[in-house]
Each structure stands twice: as C-alpha cells, then as structure tokens.
Amino acid sequence: MNLRLLLVLLILVSISSIVVTFIVTDQSIQRVSGGPPFFYTIPETDIVRLDIGSPTGVMAFELDQENNYWIFGGDETMPVDRQRWNGITTLLGGPRSQRELESSFGDPSLYGLETPDTSVTIGLKDGSFVRLFLGDVTPDRSGNYARIEGFPQLVLVSSAWGEVLNGLIADPPIPQWRYDLNVADVTEVVFLVENEVVGALALNIDTDIWHVCNLPLRGDAVCDGDQNIETSVVLDHLNVLADPQFIGVKEVGNITDDVQAEYGINSESPYATVRFEVEIQQGLRQANQISITLGDLTEDGKGMYALANEQPDVVVIDAEWGQSIREFFDLPSALAAEEPAAPAAAG
C-alpha cells in the first residue's frame, strides 16, 4: 500500500476515535399539520445568525452569505464543522412543542423563566430576529418550559432541543483541521515530498531521547534509528508546528482533487504527519496523528494554501509560518549529515 495513503488512513482513524460528533438526525422535525404545534416556524433559508447564552458561556455563529457556509461569529477563518452542524438550521427553523401549557402566565419564576438559563437569538436576513428563552426542566426531564420574547404563551418543548443547542457551547463545532498539539506528547514526525519519505524523527519513549530514523521506513509503530540527537533541536521546530497560523479559508466543502490542485496541493506536495501519544490510563497510551500538506503561495505572497488533518477544506496559513514548517522537512537529512553527538534526554 502507498505509504502516504496508509498515513492518511491512520490519521482518519485517529480523528474518528477522539472526536465526538453531535449530529441532528431526528427526521420527525417536519412542518406538517396534525402533529404537535411548532413553538415558532422560520424558513431555514432566512436564518443567518445564531446567538446562544447559557450558564456555561455564550457562542455566536453566522452564515457567510457570499460563500454559503456557516462560520463562528466574527471569525471568517473559522467555518463550523459541517458534519456536526448538519441539521442545526432545521432545528432552529422551528422546535416542535410538546404542548401549550398556558396562553398566558403570571409568575415566570415558577418555570425558571424570570432569569432563564438559556437564551437563543435567531437572526434573519431582513435584520429581524426571534429570541426565545428556555426555563426549568420538567420533573421527568423530558421537556423545558419555554417562551418567545414578546409573546405571552408558556409552552413545553423537548429537552433534547435545548441540549443540542447548549452542546454547541460546551463542545463547539470546530473544524477538524484546527488542531491542538502538545509537543511533550509527540513521538514521531515523518516528512514526504513527491510522495516519497525524505526524512523522519522519532522519540525513544524508554530512554526519552530523539533520533533520526533510518530510511526507508519499515512500518514500525515508531521508526527506529541509530543517530541520537539533541531534544532541543527537535522541540524548537515542534513548538512552531504546535502554534498553527491559520489566516483564512479559501475553499470549504466537498472539494475535489482538481480544485485542490489549483492551489498547488496534490499527492506530490510537501506533506508532514505527526504522531503523538496520550496516556489515557496507567500503562495504556492512545496514539493519534495530525498532518499538514503545503501548497502554493497566495497571490500577495503573505499566505500559503494548505490542507490539515486530511480535511478537504483549502485553508490559508501565514506564509512565514508555512516556510518554517517547510524548513522542518530538511532537518532530518541535515542532522544525518552531522557528526553524532551525545544527546540530552527529552525530560
């Protein structure tokens, strides 16, 4: 099997093992007569913004109307994860109420609506908005008391509706190409150019010492090598990699290989994969990977097109940061050409 394809498959498995998705799949949410009434009804295509406030925090999302994808409020560089956002606008278009409890009610504190736990504000294309409040959970925890700002009715809606929206705060739908990397957890870095491994570095966990990997790689869990190196040399570069400089997004969605190629991204492009291991319990470590593929510079030379974590979105990274990553590719061969020195342990 092609080595790069194998690395890609390993990364995709790693991502799927650590990302918990929250996908709305309730196909019963339809605008049909004869069922329970809707709390409100808004065409999905009219929704352009969502603001959520709860005891755990606040979060805003908005539709990039020019490119037709949702982003985190005020941050054009951060589209939402499409898989996790799937169904959210359907949910916002109209929660089906379980029943109307009161056409008007006197004391909102009896239902947790005097100072509601959760507020949801839905912005529309015409500049208007709908704001609704979720109060206490019912004793059987199946529903929430709720009302719309400006209307007197007290209704009961499924508690799952509020849980999904509050979940966007507790676990924001950050795109999977946005990564966090603790350099202390990294155990291996592999570099490919023109679909060939040009170098690799690895950490011997038992001795806590880094080494240059022998080529060709043999497919071991962590590549072996005979030349030990100073940890500080590796960490200087890893610290740069661990501080990604994403400055924009060029293409979002199911981007084809042909479109990616327009930005200098293909199977021949410089490609790095980083393996890191996290101890999930004593004596048991979980191995994960991240990756980055480098493409062409932007027209103004200030950015560089890239892919990250095998996601199809074409992102824009800071050109200087991208060049620093590209220089990392040359480190293994440069170290291999040097006289071996007695290295210090990583700890």
In order, the DSSP letters of 235-261 are HHHHHHHTS--EEEEEE-SS--HHHHH
Among residues 319, 290, 324, the alpha carbon closest in space to that of 306 is found at 319
Is 13 in a helix, a strand, or coil?
Answer: helix
- In the structure encoding, which two tokens stand for residue 276, read together? 């890191």
- Distance in angstroms (rounded) separating the CA atoms of residues 41 and 47: 11
In order, the DSSP letters of 133-189 are EEEEEPTTSSEEEEEETT---EEEEEHHHHHHHHHHHHS----TT-----GGGEEEE
Q: CA torsion, points 11, 16, 21, 26, in degrees to nearest 10?
A: 120
- In the structure encoding, which two tokens stand for residue 190, read together? 């592999």
* Paired sense of beta strands 143-148 and 154-158, if any: antiparallel
Give the pTM: 0.80
Phi, psi of 212 (to 5 degrees): -80, 130
The average pLDDT across 220-231 equals 87
* Burial class of 3 by CB neighbour count within 10 A (0 to 12, 13 to 18, 19+): middle
Phi, psi of 185 (to 5 degrees): -95, -10
- In the structure encoding, which two tokens stand for residue 58, read together? 């606040």
**How many other CB atoms are there within 10 angstroms of residue 20's CB atom?**
7
CA atoms in the 13 A half-sphere facing the CB of 324: 16
Q: pLDDT class for 340, splitting at 50, 70, 90?
A: low
Question: Over 60: is that where the pLDDT of 7 sits?
Answer: no
Q: pLDDT of 122-159, one tens digit each?
A: 999 999 999 999 999 999 998 899 998 988 888 888 88
Is 193 in a helix, a strand, or coil?
Answer: strand
The residues pairing with 63 across neighbouring beta strands, listed in sequence order, are: 70
Identity of residue 132: L
Question: Over 70: is that where the pLDDT of 284 sits?
Answer: yes
- Distance in angstroms (rounded) separating the CA atoms of residues 188 and 221: 9
Q: Which domains does the chain have, with CATH numbers?
A: 21-170 (2.60.40), 183-336 (2.60.40)
Q: Could you tell me which residues come within 8 angstroms of residue 150 by beta carbon, excluding any fewer than 6 positions away? A: none
Q: What is the per-residue pLDDT for 179?
A: 93
Query: What is the chain's mean pLDDT, rounded?
Result: 85
Sheet holding 271-281, edge to edge: 227-229, 209-212, 196-204, 186-193, 271-281, 284-297, 303-308, 314-318, 246-251
Give the total residue count for the chain. 347
Q: pLDDT of 160-203, one tens digit each?
A: 888 999 999 999 999 999 999 999 999 999 999 999 999 999 99
Q: What is the per-residue pLDDT for 41?
A: 78
Q: pLDDT of 68-109, one tens digit each?
A: 999 999 898 899 999 999 989 988 887 655 555 666 667 888
The average pLDDT across 19-42 equals 41
Q: Is-contact 96 193, C-beta < 8 A?
A: no
- More confident position, 39 or 60: 60
Identity of residue 243: D
Q: pLDDT class for 209, splitting at 50, 70, 90?
A: very high
Q: What is the per-residue pLDDT for 331?
A: 95
Q: What is the per-residue pLDDT for 113?
A: 93
Q: What is the per-residue pLDDT for 103?
A: 63
Q: Is-contact 318 308, C-beta < 8 A?
A: no
Phi, psi of 148 (to 5 degrees): -100, 140
Q: Is-contact 327 345, C-beta < 8 A?
A: no
Question: Over 60: is that where the pLDDT of 30 sits?
Answer: no
- In the structure encoding, which two tokens stand for residue 219, read together? 């497919």
Identity of residue 101: L
* Paired sense of beta strands 186-193 and 271-281, if any: antiparallel
Question: Over 80: is that where the pLDDT of 19 sits?
Answer: no
Q: pLDDT class for 61, splitting at 50, 70, 90?
A: very high
The average pLDDT across 6-25 equals 37
